[in-house]
Structures are given as C-alpha cells and as structure tokens.
Amino acid sequence: MSRKRWLALIAALMLVVAAVGVNVATSQAGADLDRMFGSEHGWAERVIEQGDDFGNSIVVLELNGVIQDTGDAVSIFDAQGYRHQAFLSQIEHAAKDSSVQGLIIRVNTPGGGVVESAEIHEKIVEVQEEYNKPVYISMGSMAASGGYYIAAPADKIVASPQTITGSLGVIMESINIAELAENYGIKFNTIKSGEYKDIMSATREMTEGDRAILQSLIDESYDEFVRIISEGRNMSENEVRQLADGRIYTGNQALEIDLVDELGSLDDTIAMMREDLGANYSVIKYEADTGLYSLFSMTAAKMLSSNNELASIEQLITERRAPTLKYLYTE
C-alpha cells in the first residue's frame, strides 16, 4: 500500500481502538443525545404511503443483518446495524398502538442466534394472539434459517422469486489451532473444574464425549425449529424434517413446497394486506432516528465502510467470538 494509505489505516485503527474503549460511555451519551435531539423511542415514524383512512395505518418494520443481541451497545461504526432490543420494542409498540391495524416485517437476514430468533417469534405470536393484528412477512434477498424461524408464524409470507430462504436447521462452529500452535512451540495450560469445562476449546481436539454433548444441544434446538415450522405452516413434523436438512431454496422453490404463500415485493405485500383488511390504510415505517448521535454514528460508519481492511479490523475487535447455537445460514 502507498504511504498515504498506510497513514489513513493507522489513523482509522486508532479511532477504532478509542471507540471500543469508550463504547459503553458513548452508548449512554448517545441515548441521552438522541432523547434530546431525536424521537422518544430511538426511532422515527415516517409515512411512506398515504391512504384514505388518516386515523389508522399499517406499520412496516425492517430486519436487516444477523439476528444477535449486542445489548444495543453497538459501536459508533455500526449505527445502521441490527439492534435486537430496539427491534423487539418496535414490534411491541406497533402491537399496543390502537391505530395500527397490521404489521409487515421486511426480512433481510441469514439468521442468527437461537435465543434472539425465539424472542422475535414470541413477539410476533403476541401481536397475533393478544392484539388480534395480522403479521405479514416480506422476504428480501435473503430470509434464511433464523430469518425463516421468525417468519413461520406469520399470517402470510411473501417472497421474491429470487429470495434465498430455507437453511432450516441449527449450527455451532469453532476452530482448532492446537496443531498450528504446536508447530510454533506454543503450549496451553488449562486448569478446569470438570472434564467438559473447556468444551469446544480452540486449543485441544474435540473428544467423542464433547461431540455427544454438543449434538444433543443441536438436536434439541432443531426439534424446536421443526415444531415452530410445523405449527406455523400447518405441516406434519415429518414433512418439515424432509425439507429441513439445511439446504437453501429460492422463493420460487419455497412456494412450490409451501414454505411461502405468495411471490411479490414489499409493495405487493402492502397491497395484499390492504386488500385483506378491506381498507386503504396509510403505511408507516419505523426507521432509524436521525438524532445528533445517530448522525455522527452514520458518518463514522460511512468513513469506515470505504476501507475493507478497516471494516475487517473493527469487526474482529467488536464481534463476539464464543461458539453459540445459531439458526444461521453460513455461506
């Protein structure tokens, strides 16, 4: 790289390190600033389509990115990323708002954590059962694994013909560097209270006992995934298991095997809900606030995203590395 590029890389890396160090403080400060200069919820409500009924509306929520709970204490470089607690709050807000007649969730995700996916699923069921409001799913370019898990209970699932969905199942991954470390003369000392305390450690080979324990966790989560799809799509569990072997499907293929109900875009989904509700309701979108801190965060994120090396460094510093159960499509 050129000298100028190296200087830019060093300067940005220093900014990343500083941001990580003050992340907790800035997150709180950001919340305070957004309360001062943004909306009371942390997001804004914007009318994207005006209808004939000015008193009632359909709400559109967007789920973009990996479904994982970072406590919403994201770095200043990730202002536009998925925020789990905020998303749950948006669903709850739409459910309790008496003027909201229906909810559409636009899904663009490869999936994510088992727990987080289950929490979204529970919120969607709550909207339907406690508030008697329809929930439609509009699939974007990808709605795989956990993205399908949250879609399963929806009253209607609409996908693009080219949507990548499926990947129905559970995965847990880790790496093993024992041989690499040995080649460099590196030794690890582990003191533990029980045989399996360091299960999935990167510094030792996995034993048959380890594998049996982990497979039991995978099987339990997989059984729950199958149950969710079976109930949501009115299929037998045997039918679901034949489809849920981890393979991916296009929107066209998913329609043929009854994993989705219709093919269409977000606009088509809005039109379907209006028709099903029998009224031309206005359409409101909950979107990221543009408070002072949010504007600063978006600027920092834009600066970082222009350099792939810096983006990779920031991701390595901030993302959680511990193995976890995931409903996730890994490319």
Strand 248-250 to 164-166 pairing: antiparallel
CB 257 within 8 A of CB 249: yes
* Annotated catalytic residue 145: yes
Structure-token pair, residue 84 = 């789990």
Of these residues, 96, 192, 197, 302, which one is catalytic? 197
CB 27 within 8 A of CB 69: no
Amino acid at 46: R
> What span, in angstroms and rounded, lies between the C-alpha atoms of 105 and 215?
32
The one-character DSSP state at 77 is G
In terms of Cβ atoms closer than 10 Å to its own Cβ (0-12, 13-18, 19+), residue 79 is buried
> What span, in angstroms and rounded, lies between the C-alpha atoms of 196 and 16?
36
Strand partners, 327: 112
Of these residues, 75, 117, 138, 145, which one is catalytic? 145
Residues identified as active-site:
145, 197
